[in-house]
């Protein structure tokens, strides 16, 4: 019998449990936590923000509410292409799987890749990162791709900001996806963009046979 999905609110008022990673040769975003939520200041910069889930969690639904202040200097037609691969916000699930770093691969991999693989249990790897993106135009909603730079990343545009900058991302996942971490991203490095994202609320609806009741 399928278990009931249980809502879990992810803490955003302080940095406990969160990891801010760094891409090589790319300026880092500024990340702050407060009673208002998680604030990401982008100034021609980028950085993964990761929240490990331990143990791995079956996720049946993901919702994120937030607000964008500022503009992304990317046209709808060019967004996602080489040199314009910026989105104001991506919410991703790092999914459990069989991919592991080999000994030699681990020696030469960027630090953020090593830390990403370290999120899984010792006897487990990862399969991919499934991103849900905030686009720039309603016509983009539903667009899906495997990222051209790596088949580790899959992306789908699921929402766009309202006129006042607020956005709500709400995706249902059936069957549930087994996730080892949440990955948040706001990118302006390709386009030289400057903007701020305030993430106000994140909820996962978990589905676990070991927890049949909420």
- Residue 180 counted as domain residue: yes
CATH number (domain holding residue 138): 2.60.120
Count Cβ atoms below 10 Å from residue 73 Cβ, excluding itself: 15
Q: Tell whether 211 is covered by a domain.
A: no
pLDDT at 16 over 60: yes
Average pLDDT over residues 166-181: 95
Q: How far is Cα of residue 55 from the mean position of the Cα atoms in its chain?
A: 18
pLDDT in tens, 139-164: 999 999 999 888 889 999 999 999 99
Residue 51 within any structural domain of the chain? yes
Tens digits of per-residue pLDDT, 67-80?
A: 999 999 998 888 98
Q: Is 212 inside any structural domain?
A: no
214 belongs to a structural domain: no
**pLDDT tens-digit series, residues 182-213:** 999 999 999 999 999 999 999 999 986 444 45
Q: Which two structure tokens, joined as six digits, stand for 104? A: 């030699």
Sequence-distant (≥ 6) Cβ neighbours of residue 94 within 8 angstroms: 50, 116, 119, 126, 129, 179, 180, 181, 182, 183
The string of pLDDT tens digits covering residues 112-144 is 556 665 665 556 678 899 999 999 999 999 999
Give the global pTM.
0.87
Tell me the residue range of the domain where 29 lies: 6-206
Give the chain's domain count.
Answer: 1
């Amino acid at each position: 019998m399928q278990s009931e999905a249980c809502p879990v609110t992810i803490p955003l008022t302080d940095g406990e449990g969160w990891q801010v990673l760094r891409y090589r040769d790319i300026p880092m975003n500024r990340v702050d936590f407060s009673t208002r939520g998680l604030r990401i200041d982008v100034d021609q910069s980028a950085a993964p923000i990761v929240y490990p889930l331990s143990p791995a969690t079956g996720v049946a639904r993901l919702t994120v509410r937030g607000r964008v202040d500022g503009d992304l200097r990317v046209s709808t037609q060019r967004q996602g292409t080489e040199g314009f691969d910026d989105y104001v916000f991506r919410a991703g699930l790092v999914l459990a799987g069989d991919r592991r770093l080999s000994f030699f691969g681990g020696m030469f991999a960027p630090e953020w890749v090593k830390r990403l693989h370290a999120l899984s249990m010792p006897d487990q790897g990862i399969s991919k990162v499934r991103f849900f993106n905030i686009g720039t135009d309603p016509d983009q909603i539903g667009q899906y791709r495997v990222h051209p730079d790596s088949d580790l990343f899959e992306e789908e545009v699921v929402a766009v900001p309202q006129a006042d900058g607020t956005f709500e991302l709400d995706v249902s996942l059936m069957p549930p996806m087994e996730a080892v971490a949440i990955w948040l991203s706001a990118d302006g490095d390709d386009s030289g963009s400057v903007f701020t994202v305030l993430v106000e609320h994140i909820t996962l609806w978990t589905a676990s046979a070991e927890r049949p009741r909420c």
